[in-house]
Amino acid sequence: MALPPPDPQFVLRGTSAAIHTLHFSCGGQEPDPPVLFSGSENGLIHVWNLKTHRVDTALDGHGRKSVYCVETMGGKDRLLSQGRDQRICLWDLAEGRTSVTDSVCTEHVGFCRCSLVQLAQGRWLMATAAKGLQEVQVLELPSKTSVCTLKPEVGAKLGMPMCLKLWQLSCGSQPLLLAGYEDGSVVLWNVTMGKALSQLICHQEPVMSLDFDSERTKGISGSSEKVLCIWSLNEQQNLQVYKTHELVNAGISDITIRPDKKILATAGWDHRIRIFGWKKLKPLAVLDYHTATVHCVSFSEHRNPRERLLAAGSKDQRISLWSLYTQS
């Protein structure tokens, strides 16, 4: 690469615990500051003001058990969080409130993050690993109505679901779910019919993370191995390996494709964040700042591209913020 990798634009400290999940909310109207939600091992969710780089609020709803998923539901006043207390909490943060308005008990003992997709104004679909070891439960929110339970065929030894991604080809079309499993498989499920459409063995180890580009119908997954697997979905809805990419060091905790679909970031067990071009998976940068495993990466959706950020959270209790636009 011609340019040396940048330094973090800013580092957020003060959670006093490993960071397991990050989620930006930057679409508010002025004077609303953009915020970053972080979920940490001590059970707290911190709401970071990205103008002051300080914590506005700390939310405590998971009995001090690790928080490993945070998502907003149509704006930063409605929040969903998931913790190792086997609960998914829905929060009302409007007008300074910090209250849990409802919760779902998953009875899931692993650390598979739930996935959300918006069906209509105020209506959401949520997929979460369920009590049954290989099962995924799909619920409608906020009603908590059960839509289906996705179970592999009898005799299929997929193991536990490790990562989930709900998506729609277009607004109003049938929701589909991509699930990565313990045996290294990625499975495409039709949520409406409750059946598996396609299965592909992508890794020899559990799938730790995946992301999917519904415009190109192409996805990417990582595991504890040294390999990123890129796979595509044909018109018959069959998953096919598109290409693989060998990494220098093993272990990927998280993968996310930037909303504009130009680049992607991986969070590495080797303490590094790697940036790739999404079209050809060309390595663009290695961001070397953290001193322990990077658990999560997240891109912001600022309206102005120059303000957009990448955040990474690590076991070293720090969150690094990077501006990748000025470099490109």
Residue 306 confidence (pLDDT): 86
Residue 3 confidence (pLDDT): 62
- Residue found by looking up tokens 């002051």 in the block: 52
What does the alpha-carbon distance between residue 106 and residue 82 come to, in Å, rounded to a whole number? 9
Q: Judge contact between 269 and 293, C-beta under 8 A.
A: yes
Confidence of residue 109 (pLDDT cuts 50, 70, 90): confident
Whether the pLDDT of residue 120 is over 60: the answer is yes
Residue 2 confidence (pLDDT): 47
Taking only the tens place, the pLDDT of each residue in 34-88 is: 999 999 999 999 999 999 999 999 999 999 999 999 999 988 899 999 999 999 9
The mean-pLDDT minimum among 20-34, 210-224, 279-293 falls in 20-34
Range 137-140 contact pairs with CB under 8 angstroms and sequence separation of 24 or more = 137/106, 138/177, 138/191, 139/104
Confidence of residue 143 (pLDDT cuts 50, 70, 90): very high
Beta bridge partner(s), residue 316 = none
Say if strands 10-12 and 319-322 run parallel, antiparallel, or are unpaired.
Answer: antiparallel
Beta bridge partner(s), residue 255 = 266
- Residue found by looking up tokens 């997709």 in the block: 117
Residue 154 confidence (pLDDT): 79
Taking only the tens place, the pLDDT of each residue in 1-29 is: 446 678 899 999 999 999 999 999 987 66
Determine the residue type at 199.
Q
- Which domains are assigned to the chain? 19-105 (2.40.10.480)
CA atoms 135, 136, 140, 142: torsion sign: positive
According to DSSP, residue 259 is labeled: T
Tokens of 115: 């996935």
Sorted by sequence, the CB contacts under 8 Å of residue 86 that are 6+ apart come out as 105, 106, 107, 108, 109
Whether the pLDDT of residue 94 is over 60: the answer is yes
